[in-house]
Amino acid sequence: MPNHPAIAPGRTAVITGGASGIGLAAAKRYAQLDMNVCVADVDGESLQTAASEIAAASPRGQEAVIAVETDVSQIDQVARLKQQAYDRFGEVAVLMNNAGTGPGGGPWDHYEGWQRVMGINLWGIINGVHTFAEAMIHQDTPCAIINTGSKQGITNPPGDAAYNVTKAGVKALTESLAHKLRNTEGCRVTAHLLVPGFTYTGLIRRHVPEKPPAAWWPEQVVDELLSRMANGDFYIICPDNDVSREMDNRRMQWAAEDLIRNRPALSRWHPDFEAEFQAFTKGD
Give the model confidence (pLDDT) of 118-142 as tens digits.
999 999 999 999 999 999 999 999 9
Residue of 30, 86, 111, 163 marked catalytic: 163
Confidence of residue 41 (pLDDT cuts 50, 70, 90): very high
The verdict on whether 163 is a catalytic residue reads yes
* Predicted pLDDT at 222: 98
For residues 35 and 8, the answer to whether their CB atoms sit within 8 Å is yes
d(CA 174, CA 96): 12
For the ranges 98-102, 205-209, 228-232, 248-252, which has the lowest average pLDDT? 205-209
For residues 253 and 281, the answer to whether their CB atoms sit within 8 Å is no
Rounded to 5 degrees, φ, ψ at 216 are: -90, 155
Per CATH, domain 12-243 is 3.40.50.1000: no
Largest CA distance in the chain: 60
Q: Can you point out the beta strands (E) in the chain? A: 12-16, 36-41, 65-69, 94-97, 143-148, 189-195, 235-237
- Residue 12: exposed, middle, or buried by beta-carbon count in 10 A (0-12, 13-18, 19+)? buried
Give the model confidence (pLDDT) of 63-96 as tens digits.
999 999 999 999 999 999 999 999 999 999 999 9
- Residues 172-184 have a mean pLDDT of 98
d(CA 178, CA 106): 30
| Beta-ladder partners of 194 | 148, 236
Looking at every residue in the chain, the average pLDDT score rounds to: 96
What is the percent of the chain where pLDDT is above 70?
99
- Residues 99-109 have a mean pLDDT of 96
pTM: 0.96
| Beta-ladder partners of 93 | none
Neighbours of 183 (CB within 10 A): 8
pLDDT at position 232 over 80: yes
d(CA 19, CA 207): 19
d(CA 25, CA 20): 7
Confidence of residue 208 (pLDDT cuts 50, 70, 90): confident
d(CA 154, CA 51): 33
Give the model confidence (pLDDT) of 49-58 as tens digits.
999 999 999 9
- Residues 108-116 have a mean pLDDT of 97
Quick one: the chain helix, strand, coil %, rounded to 5?
50, 15, 35
What is the percent of the chain where pLDDT is above 90?
95
* Predicted pLDDT at 284: 66
| Beta-ladder partners of 65 | 37
Cα 264 to chain centroid distance, Å, stands at 30
For the chain, give every domain's residue range: 12-243, 244-284
* Predicted pLDDT at 204: 81
